Amino acid sequence: MDALKILVVDDESRMRKLVKDFLTKKNFQVLEAGDGEEAMDIFYKEKDIALIILDVMMPKMDGWQVCREIRKNSKVPIIMLTARGDERDELLGFDLGVDEYISKPFSPKILVARVEAILRRTGQDMAQDMLSAGGIVIDKAAHLATVDGKPMELSFKEFELLTYFLENEGIALSREKILNSVWNYDYFGDARTIDTHVKKLRSKMGEKGEYIKTVWGMGYKFEVES
Amino acid sequence: MDALKILVVDDESRMRKLVKDFLTKKNFQVLEAGDGEEAMDIFYKEKDIALIILDVMMPKMDGWQVCREIRKNSKVPIIMLTARGDERDELLGFDLGVDEYISKPFSPKILVARVEAILRRTGQDMAQDMLSAGGIVIDKAAHLATVDGKPMELSFKEFELLTYFLENEGIALSREKILNSVWNYDYFGDARTIDTHVKKLRSKMGEKGEYIKTVWGMGYKFEVES
DNA sequence: ATATTTTTTGAATATTTTTTCATTTTAACC
DNA sequence: GGTTAAAATGAAAAAATATTCAAAAAATAT
């Protein structure tokens, strides 16, 4: 999984470094720009910037201008760094499509929290780990599986197994293959243990348990209808 | 600390619901009135309304009348919802002591921004860093958490942990992840220490302790209901 | 310094999951 | 149909994991 790119725009290099340090620690890739023009350059060159942190006060092209310019082409989330208590700014900003404000001075912790919250909200985070087929939905982030909207109470292994099935919809999977993927590769117990798990899965899935089909002399296959 | 009360007056219930939804999310308590008379009733009955959002066009008693009536006794901030581009209205309104205009149709985001700006301006603010879910409210600024309005006595770590849970509502969190976020990333103690904190949190949260769910073989998840 | 509170640790206990295994049922083939 | 191999089932043992408690250690306040 690649790190998400965050562009930090501020004329003070110390501030950039501070923010960068904290975001880097959280496994983001941080790009820096010292002024608005540079920011635009980088933004257009790099195709996949996930979020921009923008200081309002900058020489040449200020934060608002940069924001306006970017909004012409992109909906990338923008966090503005403002001086404390300037609500006029905020009003202006919300019209421009700013996602969040953080007033200086701020704690890096808050910054990081907001960044993560926004990325989560805009669904860019963790690649929206969702899977679905035939009314069964798997939300990896929540570690939750539902049938027709109703949550199933699955154990860890059951969840993993069902996920593996969904990821390989329509493909016949040998017990060996399942064992190697869902269990550890060095596992060496009885292959029949899979049968038991399949049994439980099927029963917890109700009538949709039929989607897990037995492939005789071979293993199992997840398939919706036919 | 109690949520601030906002009175929304509009004859269209759909509009009221829309506004209510957004404000509720930001942790305001929203009261609704379908016409001017009802609005006056509620305003006099409830002593501490922090702000009123008032539609101009209403049957019986229109927005102006309501505004005039309220201004006889109170300086509570008033936001008027007007049809687009009716400047005559605005002129009239400023004489009457209207604090802000928002012309329909508006984006709820803007509405929320204005509301918060006004409350900040009039010093009633405190909305800042609030989080809430399922009757649990966290005021980061005050470092205070409440269940159904009743404050919980949380230690520092407990507070941080609960905050982290709220910030990641619905997401399964591994112990490792929790450790890295709530504790320092270089912390290297026993992961069981989380369990102990969870236990205490749950007990202090009363029956809502159930919202912190155990994700077997994985960690914990904060989730309301279901 | 001393007292108090918070945080962490470690071990006992409880719970849940996973695996095993014997038995029954099912499918494929003659 | 009868035979055989494979899969489904159910119950129970084994393993893994979570909860709880009490006490030690650390941090804070007095």
Question: Domain residues of chain A, as ranges?
Answer: 5-127, 129-222
Q: Is a pLDDT exceeding 60 seen at residue B170? A: yes
Burial class of residue B185, CB neighbours in 10 A (0-12, 13-18, 19+): exposed
**DSSP assigned state of A223:** -
Flag if A91 and B109 touch (Cβ within 8 Å): no
B201 touches strand D (CB under 7 A): no
Query: What's the confidence (pLDDT) of residue A181?
Result: 87
Flag if B171 and A142 touch (Cβ within 8 Å): yes
Q: Is a pLDDT exceeding 80 seen at residue B43? A: yes
Query: What's the confidence (pLDDT) of residue A58?
Result: 84
What homologous superfamily is domain A5-127 in, according to CATH?
Answer: Response regulator (3.40.50.2300)
Confidence of residue A1 (pLDDT cuts 50, 70, 90): very low
Confidence of residue A127 (pLDDT cuts 50, 70, 90): very low
Distance (Å, rounded) from C-alpha B167 to C-alpha B162? 9
CA distance B214 to chain A (A): 11
Confidence of residue B219 (pLDDT cuts 50, 70, 90): very high
Query: What's the confidence (pLDDT) of residue B127?
Result: 43
B154 touches strand D (CB under 7 A): no
> Which residues in chain A have their CB less than 8 angstroms from residue B215's CB?
143
CATH 1.10.10.10 fits A129-222, yes or no: yes
Which residues 113-172 of chain A have a CB under 7 Å from nucleic chain C? 153, 155-158
Q: Higher-confidence residue: B89 or B216?
A: B216
Q: CA(B224)–C1'(D3) in Å? A: 57
Mean pLDDT of B100-104: 75
- Using the Cβ of A90 and the Cβ atoms of chain B, whether some distance falls under 8 Å is answered with yes
Given B120, B217, B223, which is nearest A156 (Cβ)?
B217
Which residues 203-222 of chain B have a CB under 7 Å from nucleic chain C? 216-217
C-alpha dist (Å) from residue B151 to A26, A87, B43, B143, B148: 32, 30, 27, 11, 8
> Which residues in chain B have their CB less than 8 angstroms from residue A85's CB?
120
Give the CATH number of domain B130-222.
Answer: 1.10.10.10
Flag if B167 and A117 touch (Cβ within 8 Å): yes
Mean pLDDT of A193-212: 94
Beta bridge partners of B150: B147
Distance (Å, rounded) from C-alpha A126 to C-alpha B93? 49
CA distance A169 to chain B (A): 25
Peptide bond into B77 cis (omega under 30): no
A196 touches strand D (CB under 7 A): yes
Q: Which nt is closest to the CA of B214, judged by C1'?
A: D18
CA distance B55 to chain A (A): 21
Strand D bases contacted by the protein (CB, 7 Å): 6-11, 16-22
Residue nearest to nucleotide C5 (CA to C1'): B155
Beta bridge partners of A100: A79
Return the structure tokens found at A69.
Answer: 């310019």
Distance (Å, rounded) from C-alpha B33 to C-alpha B22? 17
Confidence of residue B196 (pLDDT cuts 50, 70, 90): very high
CA distance B226 to chain A (A): 8
Closest residue, chain B, to A22 (C-alpha): B185
Output the pTM of the full model.
0.56
Cβ neighbour number for residue B26 with a 10 Å cutoff = 16
> Which residues in chain B have their CB less than 8 angstroms from residue A151's CB?
226
Q: Is a pLDDT exceeding 60 seen at residue B56? A: yes
Q: Higher-confidence residue: A53 or A117?
A: A53
Q: Is a pLDDT exceeding 90 seen at residue A212? A: yes
Return the structure tokens found at B70.
Answer: 């309220």
Q: Is a pLDDT exceeding 90 seen at residue A63? A: no
Closest residue, chain A, to B166 (C-alpha): A117
CA distance A127 to chain B (A): 14
Flag if B217 and A155 touch (Cβ within 8 Å): yes
Distance (Å, rounded) from C-alpha B27 to C-alpha B78? 19
Q: CA(B91)–C1'(C22) in Å? A: 89
The SS3 of residue B178 is helix
**DSSP assigned state of B205:** T
- The CATH number for B5-121, chosen from 3.90.1150.10, 3.40.50.2300, 3.40.50.300, 3.40.50.970, is 3.40.50.2300
